[in-house]
Amino acid sequence: MKKKKKTTISDIARELDTTPSTVSRALGDHPRISDSTKQAVWEMVEKLNYQPNNIASALRKGKSNMIGVIVPTSDRQFFASFIRGIEEIVREEGYNLIICQSDDQFAKEKAGIDTLLNVRVDGIIASVAKETTDISHYERIKQQGVPLVLYDRVIESLDVNLVVSDDCLGAYKAVTHLIEQGCKRIAHFAGRQHIHIYQNRLRGYIQALKKHNLPVDEDLIIESDLIKDTYSILQTGRQLGEKLLQMSNMPDGIFSSSDFAAIGAIQVFKENNIEIPDQIALVGYSNDFSASVIEPALSSLDQHTIGMGNLAAKHFLAQIGTNPEDFTPQKTKLEPNLIIRESSSRKKVAENQKNLG
């Protein structure tokens, strides 16, 4: 079957017996083109089903009104909320988003950035893939003068705008809360330590233990891959929970760098009649929707992801209007909010039992 030829500006001009430049100006709402001509052009656009070449238009105007967003995965509430936060700000300024998913793979991340640069996006907002160690594709973004904002998982050495959560403080809050609930032997489900967010969460965990004169037991720090699809992380959490059950001196608290790993552990504890939070109390990280609906509901750190997206968008917009020579990168750090629920509320549970008695 012969492929149908794509309508061009020249085709519209031929139908209207005018010049391609007049059609182009009419489509661009040029003030020197009469309203009647503009109306005729747009009617013909609809009749011939003309689809503008956005890349060519971007080359002519030097602006595409598109922003590229790199997410490691699309199946997490964190990234969905972050994207919503960006859209709340840039939509009012006439920008649209192009979303690329890296699946935490270097090759996919690089290919996504290549595509975004090829379609001439006006900026890129990205969270770095876990596999990424070679950052030359990010350096190329800067070299081409395209505004770059990194969020959550960032590259400190790049000198670009950064929007992050204070993971160390969040971990410190979580572990301090567990200690205040009476926990003295607290395990940590840690992520891979080449990733900054997990380094910072481990650091906050250790700081809280030392602050309260509790020993740092390396056997209770269990590192695993917490950046996978949701099902895989749940299974990892189940394996970690089973590992704790096999200990002769089982911990009485868990701070997990992932909500889903904590939820997997809760499933195992419930199957083995371990009382939560009396025998073991848990706090997760990210405050995913699942944390509020599991039984018992999971305490977690809320990272203000919509606000994080808002800030990333504002950094982009501010940079758009700045002379490159005057640009000074900023690092914005948001303080996580500890949401306390039944999984860690030992004192509340004890008080309720006392009142019932």
pLDDT 10s digits, 64-99: 789 999 999 877 888 999 999 999 999 988 899 999
Closest CA to 268 of 285, 249, 255, 282: 282
Q: Which fold has domain 9-52?
A: 434 Repressor (Amino-terminal Domain) (1.10.260)
Write down the pLDDT at residue 12: 86
CA angle 298, 302, 304 (to 5 degrees): 155
Class level of CATH domain 64-164+304-333: alpha beta
Distance separating alpha carbons of residues 105 and 322, to the nearest angstrom: 32
Q: How confident is the model at residue 57, as a pLDDT?
A: 55
Q: Would you state the pLDDT for residue 353? A: 43
Q: List the 331-334 sheet strands across, edge first.
A: 96-101, 66-71, 123-126, 148-151, 161-165, 331-334
CATH 3.40.50.2300 residue ranges of the chain are 64-164+304-333, 167-303+339-356
Q: Are 234 and 189 in contact (CB under 8 A)?
A: no
Structure confidence at residue 284 (pLDDT): 97
10-residue mean pLDDT series, the chain (357 residues): 68 88 79 87 84 56 82 86 95 91 93 92 94 92 93 91 96 98 97 90 98 96 86 92 95 97 97 96 95 96 95 93 81 96 79 46
CATH number of 167-303+339-356: 3.40.50.2300
Q: Which residue spans of the chain are classified as CATH 1.10.260.40?
A: 9-52
Q: Which pTM value belongs to this model?
A: 0.79
pLDDT of residue 348: 57
